[in-house]
Amino acid sequence: MPENPFPTLQKWQEEKKKYGIPGKVIKSGAFGDKLEKLRMAFNSKGGKSVDRTNFRGVLEVLQQGHALVDEWLLKAKTIKASEFTNKQKAIELVEGYKGSLDAVENRVRQTVNPMHEPKIGYPKAMKLYQDAKADPSNAGKLRVLWDSGMRQYIGQGFRIALKNADALGYSTVVVNRLKAYDALVAKWMKAMLTGVDAEKVAADVKARKAFLDDMYKGLGIANGLLN
């Protein structure tokens, strides 16, 4: 389950002092106090044990967090650097909070809808496929397509979906498609696991064509599942 993405009030106060952050940035209230309230709300809504019964409440808290952080960043970027000890580091700190909120939101959504991440990752995987197809003798591009594109961007969510197919109520058709996708990716495990192995595939015209054909089939299966 995701960790609470909101910093404690004490942690914020330490960072505020470290970077000399002004006290009046957002329109009303104290930024640190509001972060602390959202931190407590995240816990009370069940953020550490998200399921289909409570995810909406958790997402609502995260969206409130986004709004608060966005408000702070928008205003802080207009304040003179001289009002901070280190404005750049202060901005980076709060942008880090935003990144944490994004990461936790994605994990929450994937918990209740494993297809969430693959849907986001599909265009990225397709771009990697197009890059590899345009330069098929490039072992690095072939391996990145398999490892980052097919295994991570799409495959990670599909494996979660397959594992929880019964609980999620997936039909036999969907399950079979998930299995077919997994089998196509797993088929190239030995040939793509290391750079040395990928070089062998890239150097063999027939092998690299077979690889790209299978990855194209996998993308076709993914497209059918996601649309």
- 115-127 average pLDDT score: 95
pTM of the model as a whole: 0.66
The pLDDT tens digits of the residues spanning 60-91 come to 999 999 999 999 999 999 999 999 999 999 99
The pLDDT tens digits of the residues spanning 163-177 come to 888 878 889 999 999
Long-range contacts of 196-199 (CB under 8 A, 24+ apart): 198/139, 198/140, 198/142, 198/143, 198/146, 199/139
Greatest alpha-carbon span in the chain: 65
The pLDDT tens digits of the residues spanning 9-50 come to 999 999 999 999 998 899 999 999 999 999 999 999 999 888
- Averaged pLDDT of the chain: 94
pLDDT at 1: 60
Q: Are 223 and 122 in contact (CB under 8 A)?
A: yes
Residue 128, in any domain of the structure: yes
Q: How many CB atoms lie within 10 A of CB 199?
A: 16
- Are residue 103 and residue 126 in the same domain, yes or no? no
- Are residue 210 and residue 108 in the same domain, yes or no? no
Sign, Cα dihedral of 122, 124, 128, 131 = positive
Final residue in a domain of this structure, among 79, 112, 145: 112
- Are residue 121 and residue 179 in the same domain, yes or no? yes
pLDDT cut 70: percent of the chain above it: 100
Domain span holding position 80: 9-112
pLDDT at 209: 97
Final residue in a domain of this structure, among 86, 112, 138: 112
The pLDDT tens digits of the residues spanning 92-116 come to 999 999 999 999 998 888 778 889 8
